[in-house]
Amino acid sequence: MRRPFNPDMLALARDAKGFTQTELIGTLGDAMSQAKLSKIENGLVSPSGEDVAALASALGFRPEFFFHPHTRRSEPATYHRKRKKLAKKDWSKIYATAEIYRISTALFLKSIELAPPAPPPPAIDPDQHDGRIEEIALAVRQLWALPRGPVEDVTSLLERAGVVVISYDFGNDLCDGFTQHATGDMPPVVFVNTRQPKDRLRYSLAHELGHVVMHRLPNPDMEHQENRFASEFLMPTSEVTKDFYNMSIDKFMSLKMHWRVSMQSLIMKAHQVGRMSDSAYRYYMINMSKRGWRTREPVELTNVKESPRLLLQLVNGHMNQLAYSLDDMSQLIGIPPSAVEDLYGLKSRPRLRIVS
C-alpha cells in the first residue's frame, strides 16, 4: 500500500530548488493554479497522480520523494556561523538541501548501523559549570584522549564519535555551517560550506561541536560561548601561550601552519590570553583588514585533510555490500540518478570499451 502524499516534502523540494510558489506555478504552466498548489502544500487538498507527476517534473524530483513519511524539521531559531546579509530565500535553499541529506541519511541508517569507536560528544550545560567554557573544551579533548598540540583532523574526530559531517556548496559564502542535534535514531549532523578555506572550515567544525556539546537549548550568549569553545579546543591556552613571543605578521603565518587555524584566530587568542596589548591587537586587525586578509589570508593550509567519509561510507555500503544500483538509490531517496551522483559526489563508472 502506497504511503499518503506528504505536503512537507513538496515544500522541501520547492525550497531546495529555490522556487517561491509563484515561480513554481510559472514552471508548471497550465498544469496547476497557485490556489491549488497552496492548498496541496498546506495539506488541504490531496493531489492527483497527474498533479504529482507535474510537480516532480517541474522540481526535478521523483514522485516517490513526495511520499516520504519524514517530518520536515524547523529552521533553527539562531543560525550558526551565518552572516547577516544572507537572504531568507537563500537560507531556505541551504537548509532544504540539508534536510534532503538528513532524510537520506536516516534512510541509509535503517540498513546500516553505525558503530563509532570513540565516545559520543557529552552534553554539558555551561550554566551548570559557571560559564567556564574553556574547561568544557578541555574536558572534551580529554574525553577523546587528544594529544597535546593542534588537532590533526577535526572532521575525522567528529565522525569517530558518531557525528555525521556533511559538506556541500551552500551557493554563497555568507553561511559557514550549522548543526542538527540527535533525535531518535538519528545522530548529530554538522553541515559545513565547502566554499570556506580550510582554516575557517576547521574553526566552523569546532564551533559546531561546541553547539552539540553545550546547547541542546539555545541561549542569547551561545554564539560567543561556541567561539570560546572552538578557540580553546583548537588552541589550548596552556599550550599556545608559549608561542606568543616576538610576534609579527610572519610569526602568525608560521603559527597558522602549525596550529592549523587562521592568523586572525591566533591574533585574537594572543589578545585574549593577555600576550598582546589592546593597541597591538587593533594594529594587527586594522592591518589585516587593509590587506583584505580578514576574508582570505595570504597563506593557505596545505597540511590538512578535513574530508568527510562517514556519509560516503553509508552510500558505498548500500551500493557495494547491499548491491543497490544507482537507480535503486534514486528510487530510495526520490531524486533522479544524476542528482544522487551530484549529492554524494559519485562518478559513473566508465563503460568497458573493447577495441579489436
Domains and their CATH numbers in the chain: 1-72 (1.10.260.40)
pLDDT at 77: 59
Q: Is the pLDDT of residue 349 over 80?
A: no
Distances (CA, A) of 149 to 40, 111, 140, 237, 250: 55, 38, 15, 10, 20
C-alpha cell belonging to residue 7: 505536503
* Pair 229, 331: CB distance under 8 Å: no
Q: What angle do CA 61, 67, 72 make, to 5 degrees?
A: 85
* Pair 320, 346: CB distance under 8 Å: no
Q: Is the pLDDT of residue 350 over 60?
A: no
Q: Is the pLDDT of residue 152 over 50?
A: yes
Mean pLDDT of the chain: 92
Task: Tell which residue, 237, 220, 240, has the closest CA to residue 229.
Answer: 237
Average pLDDT of span 99-124: 95
Lowest pLDDT segment from 111-120, 214-223, 239-248, 313-322? 214-223
pLDDT at 216: 87
Average pLDDT of span 130-157: 97
Average pLDDT of span 47-75: 93
pLDDT at 78: 52
pLDDT at 352: 43
Task: Tell which residue, 196, 197, 155, has the closest CA to residue 174.
Answer: 196
Where would I find the H helices in the chain? Answer: 7-17, 21-28, 34-41, 49-59, 88-108, 133-143, 154-160, 198-214, 222-234, 237-240, 249-259, 263-272, 278-290, 310-316, 326-333, 337-344
Task: Tell which residue, 53, 52, 60, has the closest CA to residue 17.
Answer: 60
Res. 356 pLDDT band, cuts 50 70 90: very low
List Cβ neighbours of 304 (8 Å cut-off, separation of 6 or more). 153, 198, 202, 260
Q: Is the pLDDT of residue 310 over 60?
A: yes
pLDDT at 85: 84
Helices (H) and strands (E) in the chain, counts: 16, 3
CA 145 vs. chain centroid, Å, equals 25
Res. 249 pLDDT band, cuts 50 70 90: very high
pLDDT at 82: 61
For the chain, the C-alpha Rg in angstroms (whole number) is: 23
* Pair 274, 248: CB distance under 8 Å: no
SS3 at position 82: strand
